Structure 1
């Protein structure tokens, strides 16, 4: 009989999922998506293959579930931080800062190699996860424009530009970190036309 992780089936499922996600990220980082099998993931996660298949159909299913989990947690953290702001422009500032800080602790980009092998349906689902993050910025841009804090602009054009300015940006730690953060923040806000 398989061992139950935790005190209930719900805890078992959550712990199994946590282990599988951690194993998946570790293995894909080391060996690439194509170099990892379901058996590898089960062994690394410390769960039986049958148990793994009871939770996930295949690697693509693991990737999609992982992306959904990461995106949900990321957006919740982002929204929590932005909820403290008194104005839309302040929410934009927080968005930039949190995007840079939170991007350090979330594994969004498993790389183009992973996305190149996804089925068209999985690709659409991954894009929907990305869109959830973009929607936070779209809404905030509309609010800032309605409040007269930035000029009216098309969020469909502006959102990819803002993310391009932020993507892959690694901020220094220690002395100079706050100045670097303010510089990136100022650049984005000036590009949006904020005073």
Structure 2
């Protein structure tokens, strides 16, 4: 059992929540999403069931929180790319490559099977829309279609990376997506 006490109540609660999410992810990877129970999570996390229920009402809410945590990490990584410099066109290209690679690499993982609820999809859409808007403003890509529409197109197109046979195929998918965003001469 992990020792979860920290210096403040807030830190303790955060540590307990992280332990719950980490435990749930481990159990899902080991046993599958449908076989994980609240009792298993509590036991493996080293907390009582009553404590677990203070944090989450059911397994689905834990898995959703785990998914949101993964999405936040993914978006932080992408945001770091956009803040690392370079022109907006290159930033867009890097973001699309990273997104497609992550889709490809995690397509078979148990956590990838968790539903992509509307809030997560909306967050991704807003992020990619912002990157596309900046690229369009600099003339790197077309500006005759709204950034939100182009972002939706990109996310749907890059979802095909999950079924791609190789990393090379993922690269071609990203290139095709980028080509569709570029201005026609």
Q: Does the pair score TM above 0.5?
A: yes
Are 2:9 and 1:18 equivalent residues in the alignment?
Answer: no
How does 1:156-195 map onto structure 2 within 5 Å? 156-167=148-159, 168=162, 182-194=171-183
Deviation at 1:188, TM superposition (A): 1.9
**Residue 62 of structure 1: aligned partner:** 62
**Residue 147 of structure 2: aligned partner:** 155
Quote the Cα distance in structure 1 between the aligned partners of 2:6 and 2:33: 33
- Assess, with a 3 A threshold, how the Cα gap between structure 1 residues 181 and 37 changes in structure 2: closer, same or farther: closer
How does 1:1-195 map onto structure 2 within 5 Å? 5-8=4-7, 9-103=9-103, 104=105, 110-111=112-113, 114-115=114-115, 126-151=117-142, 152-167=144-159, 168=162, 182-194=171-183
Quote the Cα distance in structure 1 between the aligned partners of 2:169 and 2:32: 32
Quote the Cα distance in structure 2 between the aligned partners of 1:34 and 1:180: 32
Tell me the TM-score normalised to structure 1 length.
0.73
User: Which SS does the other structure have where 1:161 is aligned?
Assistant: helix
Cα RMSD (Å) of the superposition?
A: 3.2
Quote the Cα distance in structure 2 between the aligned partners of 1:6 and 1:194: 57
Please give the per-residue CA displacement for 1:134-179, whole angstroms capped at 9, x wherever unaligned: 211111212222222212213343223312332216685xxxx6x6
Quote the Cα distance in structure 1 between the aligned partners of 2:24 and 2:51: 15
Please give the per-residue CA displacement for 1:55-113, whole angstroms capped at 9, x wherever unaligned: 222223313322332222221111011112322211111111221344447979542xx
- Assess, with a 3 A threshold, how the Cα gap between structure 1 residues 83 and 13 changes in structure 2: closer, same or farther: same
- Assess, with a 3 A threshold, how the Cα gap between structure 1 residues 47 and 80 changes in structure 2: closer, same or farther: same
User: Which SS does the other structure have where 2:57 is aligned?
Assistant: coil
More helix by share: 2
- Assess, with a 3 A threshold, how the Cα gap between structure 1 residues 85 and 169 changes in structure 2: closer, same or farther: farther
Tell me the TM-score normalised to structure 2 length.
0.76
